[in-house]
Every structure is written in structure tokens, then in C-alpha cells.
Amino acid sequence: MISEIVIMQSNGQVVKRLENVAAGSTFLDLSDWAGGFYLIRFKKDKSVASGKLVVLRL
């Protein structure tokens, strides 16, 4: 189980926080999000992983 998923705007403002996420696939509805770059952070036990999330609007 992932203890926390946090998605932030590039300025550090948290736009989405999920806690106690079951292992496997998780779907997020981003249809109302502005296009741009976001930072995403995953926490599990004592491990932390982070990356970039890009939302494109065509």
C-alpha cells in the first residue's frame, strides 16, 4: 500500500493528496486541470519517489 501520493503545482501548492492508496493502478480525473507541469511524490513505508507530471491540452 502506498501511504501517500501528493501532486503539487510548480510553486509547491498542493492540488491533490491521496492517502492509503491500494497497490495496483490508480486513476485520476484530470479533465478540469489546467495544462502545465506538476510535481508528484509517492511515499511508501520509509521510501519516497518523486517525478514530473505533464498535463497537455490540445
What does 1-14 look like in DSSP terms, one character per residue? -EEEEEEEETTS-E
> pLDDT band at residue 19, thresholds of 50, 70 and 90?
very high
pLDDT value of residue 27: 87
Stated pTM of the model: 0.85
Contacts of 27 (CB under 8 A, 6+ apart): none
Instruction: Write the Ramachandran bin of 45: left for phi over 0, alpha for psi from -120 to 50, otherwise beta.
Output: left
Between 1 and 40, whose confidence is greater? 40
Give which of 33, 31, 35 is closest to 56, Cα–Cα.
Answer: 35
- CA distance linking residue 36 with residue 38, whole number of Å: 7
DSSP state of 24: S
> pLDDT band at residue 58, thresholds of 50, 70 and 90?
confident
Mean pLDDT of the 6-19 span: 95
Digit-coded pLDDT (tens) for 24-57: 888 889 999 999 999 999 999 999 999 999 999 8
